Structure 1
Amino acid sequence: MARKLKTYQTSLGFYDLAIAAPSMKAALEAWGAGSNLFHQGIAKETDDPDVVAATMSTPGVVLKRPAGSNGRFAEESELPTDLGGDNGATRERRRAKPAKRPAHQASPKISEREARKAAADFEKEQRSREAERRREEAAAVKERERREKATAKVQAALDKAEREHAKRAADLQAEAEAIEKRFRSEDDRWEKERERLQAALRRARE
């Protein structure tokens, strides 16, 4: 049976975030939080009727609005308009003069049927997110295998080329040594022949 959903809210970076989820743990996972924001006092469960209505209409989907604003939560949001302005003076003025809201608003009444539907929608969104994660992981594995295969192919070609180069270099070295030996042999032969002919020349001149 699907668990009843609650609305959780936090503030990360430039945005306030909200989500309808069955637990704090599920909310943290959806926000991609690396630590327990609830224990740190950065996140909380909210019964703000506008926030609850927005999140319950799209359970499991992270909604956002500019950080510190009182705007409507939505899947897409503009950045805060006071970024870097006046060394925070604009934010100070906004804190000094908060937007007027009704003293109290009751949480919207959600029927049991609507609650079950929201919970079922949340689980559907979770399954969709998990399926997308598995697809991304499978694609990453496939891409890694493709790179490893391509790398192994190029490495094999490089190793083969190095072996062929080493063999050719060794053959050329052997040829060079053989030619050098022939040069030395020819020098020795010529030296002996020259000495013999010079001796014969001297005898002919006597």
Structure 2
Amino acid sequence: MARKLKTFQTSLGFYDLAIAAPSMKAALEAWGAGSNLFHQGVAKETDDLDVVAATMSKPGVVLKRPAGSNGRFAEQSDLPSDLGSGENGVRRGRQRPKPAKRAAPKISEREARKAAADFEKEQKRRDAERRREQVARERERKRRERATAKAQAALDKAQREHERKAADIQAEVEALEKRSRAEDDRWEKQRERL
């Protein structure tokens, strides 16, 4: 049976991220986090009604919004537009009031089961996509290995041909040196005779 989903939220880079997942581990995997953001205090479970409603409508999908904004979460989001509107990047004007705490939303058992099933479906889709990417990377690695082996074989063949020609030239040089020494000897003998 599918586990009940919870809504988790974090802020990474230029975006605030949120997801409906059955556990912190599942949320970290979906975010692609390499460390436990919950223990670092960067991620948390949230009960904000707007965030919960958005994530429960798309369980298992990472939703984002510009960092530090109170905008709605969506699959695609623009970058923050007011990253430093004052002098030296300091914002001027009044601070935004914090939203009032609201009670956790009431989600029916049926909606919770549907959201959990949707989460599992989305997780299977992500896993299948990762497997396809892994197969493509493996195929590309094998293609590169074949190309490298072919290039290495051609280089080895060319090197053997070069070494054979260099050996032939060296043999010719040694033969010429031998003929040159023989000619020098013959000349010395003839000069002494004359």
Residue 96 of structure 2 aligns with which residue?
97
Deviation of 1:131 after TM superposition, in Å, equals 0.9
Deviation of 1:105 after TM superposition, in Å, equals 3.4
Deviation of 1:108 after TM superposition, in Å, equals 3.2
RMSD of aligned residue pairs (Cα, Å): 1.9
Q: Read off the aligned partner of 1:79 and give its amino acid letter.
A: L
Residue 160 of structure 2 aligns with which residue?
163
Residue 57 of structure 2 aligns with which residue?
57
Deviation of 1:160 after TM superposition, in Å, equals 1.7
Identity over the aligned pairs, expressed in percent? 78
Residue 20 of structure 1 aligns with which residue?
20
Measured in 2, the distance between the counterparts of 1:27 and 1:93 equals 36
* 1:23-78 alpha-carbon deviations (Å, 9 max, x no partner): 01111111112222222222111111111111011111110111111100001111
2:18–2:73 contact (8 Å) kept in structure 1: yes
Deviation of 1:195 after TM superposition, in Å, equals 4.6
Aligned to 2:29, the other structure's residue is in SS state: helix
Q: Read off the aligned partner of 2:145 and give its amino acid letter.
A: E
Q: Read off the aligned partner of 1:6 and give its amino acid letter.
A: K
Measured in 1, the distance between the counterparts of 2:93 and 2:67 equals 15
Residue 182 of structure 1 aligns with which residue?
179
Deviation of 1:188 after TM superposition, in Å, equals 2.3
Larger mean Cα displacement after TM superposition, 184-193 or 173-182? 184-193
Deviation of 1:162 after TM superposition, in Å, equals 1.2
Return the TM-score normalized by structure 1: 0.85
Larger mean Cα displacement after TM superposition, 57-66 or 33-42? 33-42
Measured in 2, the distance between the counterparts of 1:26 and 1:125 equals 12
Instruction: Say which one has the larger Rg.
Output: 1
* 1:75-101 alpha-carbon deviations (Å, 9 max, x no partner): 1111112224334432x746x3326x4
2:4–2:22 contact (8 Å) kept in structure 1: yes
**2:113 is aligned with 1:113:** no
Measured in 2, the distance between the counterparts of 1:4 and 1:180 equals 92
Query: 1:1-206 residue pairs with structure 2 within 5 A?
Result: 1-86=1-86, 87-90=88-91, 93=93, 96-98=95-97, 101=99, 103-196=100-193, 198=194
Measured in 1, the distance between the counterparts of 2:134 and 2:125 equals 14
How many positions carry a matched residue from both structures?
Answer: 193
Measured in 1, the distance between the counterparts of 2:26 and 2:126 equals 12
Aligned to 2:40, the other structure's residue is in SS state: coil
Q: Read off the aligned partner of 2:97 and give its amino acid letter.
A: P
Return the TM-score normalized by structure 2: 0.90
Measured in 1, the distance between the counterparts of 2:8 and 2:184 equals 98
Runs of 4+ in 1 over 6 A off after TM superposition: none
Measured in 2, the distance between the counterparts of 1:82 and 1:10 equals 20
2:8–2:21 contact (8 Å) kept in structure 1: yes
Q: Read off the aligned partner of 1:85 and give its amino acid letter.
A: S
2:17–2:62 contact (8 Å) kept in structure 1: yes
Measured in 1, the distance between the counterparts of 2:34 and 2:134 equals 20
